[in-house]
Amino acid sequence: MDVSQYMGMFLEESMDNLQTLNEALLDLEQEPNNIDKLNQIFRVAHTIKGMAATMGFNNIAELTHKMEDILSEFREGKLKVTRDVVTVLFDCLDTLEKMVSNVEDGNEEEIEISSVIKALERAAQIEESEISENEDLNEVSYLEQEDLIINLNEYDISVVKQAKNNGYNGVNIQISLREDTLLKSARAFLIVQELEAQGEIIKSFPATEDIENEQFDTELFFVVVTKKTKEEIKTLVSNISEVKDVKTSYVILNDNYESDSIKDIDLEEKNIIENEQLNSKEIISQDKKKETSVNNKRAHQSVRVDLQRIDKLMNMVSELVIYRTRLEQIVIDDKSQELIETLEQVERTTSDLQDLVMKIRMLPLEVVFNRFPRMIRDLSVELKKEINFVIEGSETELDRTVIDEIGEPLIHLLRNAADHGIESKEERIAKGKDPVGTIKLVAYQEGTKALIKVSDDGAGINLQKVKNKAEKIGISTEGLSDNDIRNLIFAQGFSTNTVVTDISGRGVGMDVVKTKISSLGGSVDVISEEGKGSTFIIKLPLTLQIIQALLVKVGDETLAISLGFIDRVIDYKEENVKKTNGEEVIIYRGNVIPLIRLNERLGIENKESKKKFIIIVKVGEKTVGLLVDSLFGQQEIVIKPLGKTLKSLKEYIGATILGNGLVTLILDVAALI
């Protein structure tokens, strides 16, 4: 069976499911008696196993099957949820993630799973054969549908018996596939996905393993708990390709059932099933998402698009913006009223198209943030510290190019907070602090910027240590404010940690953070109070493709400066320029602001002009004045990369094409400061 066409779906779904397992296991560790969470973990693990078996990745299926053994022990009360057992399960998830990554990269290297399997077996303390026997003993009841008997164990019966008050329907589903269906297992997988999106599959016939291995003819039977009616379920399943026929009926469970059988079942009458152990929150949230849709053709309301296609669309829109700007220049020169009206319509359409493409490219920070709770949990175990991790604002959206790059700096900051920031339990108690340290990751949007804050209530930054280290590596701290001294930790090779560990102390973390964020057109600053904690503030542009910029003249060169950095523009007056510590500054509204003459900094020949301007820019907590010769006004520009030849020019983030066809460089204000 050729399943290569489903490879993309398998990889994407597997990574999503593994992340879901990571999050759910963290929750289960905090709430060991949460049956809802345990059921969710069991379902997701079973889905991963089924998908892997269908695609022929037997190692992944085998490892996940061993995970299910442990989860069965949890569910039956034979094994307690402890930190040690959860750690073994996390090791299992890490191994699964490596295996899926190898599949994605085309790496055929075999990952040794025997040690992980042995660890799982030791944790479960039960042989697979014993589990199978237990499962056989539990098959004590059944539901009938025409000539079909679906066995239900005691757990399933409790699900069926207790679900009534929440208003869920129990639906029997009989599905007939077309006789000429080539990939029956893959088609069954899509059917199972659709049913799981609508509720909970209580039982299936043939068994899930047989479906995964394509050991069935053309008939499939399911018992599902759902908010949908049997008619709605029938319509949804019928919309799936290669489904020949669908029959649905409500499940009737006699209230006077005995523990070893279910009697007098009438499948043509409606009854409602409820389960207090069912993850109702999950299903209800799925229902809320679906309420926005009027019809039932959910599968046709969204499509997966390759990211390269979206990038190509964005580039085409960028080109459109460039030509629109050139048209504006032509209209100004031509002064044709008819052209002006046509151009206004083009501008409106282009702007709407641009906004739409921007929104398509935006992703919530959640896709980055969701990996951090597990990381902090592992760090707290490794460092023997108790850490409470709080995430706020994960719904904040950023351009996917920014999302792709922001993960690495945040990992450095969070590891630094756990290692350097949070003190040991004993130290915190001695200082009168809560024994449990807190690390916060907060994100929100502010104008055209996204702000991300990483804060901790730990020891804070020791100024004297930073000064001593700075002097040692040849950095003078004379005349620097306390805030400037704190920001020295971003210098290359700077680390106050005297012990090199796997977590931090090699002097590369903060340098990497600064470099990466600057390359994204953003800034990073630190605020800290010794003994109370530190906060790192990252400011990032919402998008890196099209920005509003101020065009300026420096000598004979035209340059662009992003409006996101500009605070205000003032007239240049020679008498306002002073010197302090050999550096030029200006006095503006009682504030001393460093002055940068752009022609000197960029090596551009100076041209005398009657009137010059100072552009006051802010990067994080720093404010600087940039001296320019003249202003050309505000314009929407498209950022184009400089390419390999000019990549070494650190003062520029890219270039743009103006309306007159000239190429103009875009200043990297953060790098200048």
User: Mean pLDDT in runs of 10 for the chain (673 residues)?
Assistant: 69 85 86 82 83 81 83 77 84 87 80 79 54 41 43 58 68 83 80 84 76 78 83 86 84 49 33 36 42 41 72 81 79 75 83 81 86 89 90 88 85 89 90 91 83 92 84 77 81 58 50 79 85 89 76 88 85 83 82 86 80 85 86 80 71 77 81 75
Specify the pLDDT at position 452: 93
Alpha-carbon dihedral sign for residues 500, 505, 508, 512: positive
Respond yes or no: is residue 108 known to be catalytic: no
Instruction: Enter the tokens of residue 15.
Output: 């990574």
Q: Are 444 and 451 in contact (CB under 8 A)?
A: yes
CA–CA gap between residue 436 and residue 559 (Å, rounded): 51
Instruction: Enter the tokens of residue 117.
Output: 């399997």
Candidates 279, 416, 423, 487; catalytic one: 416
Candidates 46, 102, 104, 408; catalytic one: 46
Specify the pLDDT at position 160: 62
Instruction: Enter the tokens of residue 499.
Output: 């012990």
Specify the pLDDT at position 666: 85
Respond yes or no: is residue 68 known to be catalytic: yes
Specify the pLDDT at position 284: 38
Domains and CATH numbers, the chain: 4-126 (1.20.120.160), 135-290 (3.30.70.1110), 307-364 (1.10.287), 366-541 (3.30.565.10), 546-672 (2.40.50.180)
**Other beta carbons within 10 Å of 128:** 12
For the whole prediction, is pTM greater than 0.75?
no
Residue 248 sits at the vertex; the CA angle it makes with 244 and 249, to the nearest 5 degrees, is 160
Specify the pLDDT at position 493: 64
In sequence order, which residues have a C-beta less than 8 Å from that of residue 609 and are 6 or more positions away? 629, 630
Candidates 29, 68, 212, 405; catalytic one: 68
Among 548, 538, 488, 547, CA closest to 516: 538
In sequence order, which residues have a C-beta less than 8 Å from that of residue 275 and are 6 or more positions away? 158, 159, 160, 162, 163, 166, 168, 200, 225
Burial grade of 517 (CB within 10 A; 0-12, 13-18, 19 or more)? buried
Residues in the chain: 673
Place of tokens 């339990």: 425
CA–CA gap between residue 433 and residue 361 (Å, rounded): 44
Task: State whether residue 91 is helix, strand or coil.
Answer: helix
3-state SS of 209-265?
HHHHCCCCCCEEEEEEEECCCHHHHHHHHHCCCCEEEEEEEECCCCCCCECCECCCC
- The H-or-E segment that residue 305 falls in is none
Rg, Å, the chain Cα set? 31
**Other beta carbons within 10 Å of 395:** 11
Q: How far apart are the first and last CA of the chain?
A: 60
Nearest 5°: phi and psi at 164? -65, -45
Half-sphere exposure of 434 (CA within 13 A, CB side): 11
Specify the pLDDT at position 544: 63
Respond yes or no: is residue 144 known to be catalytic: no
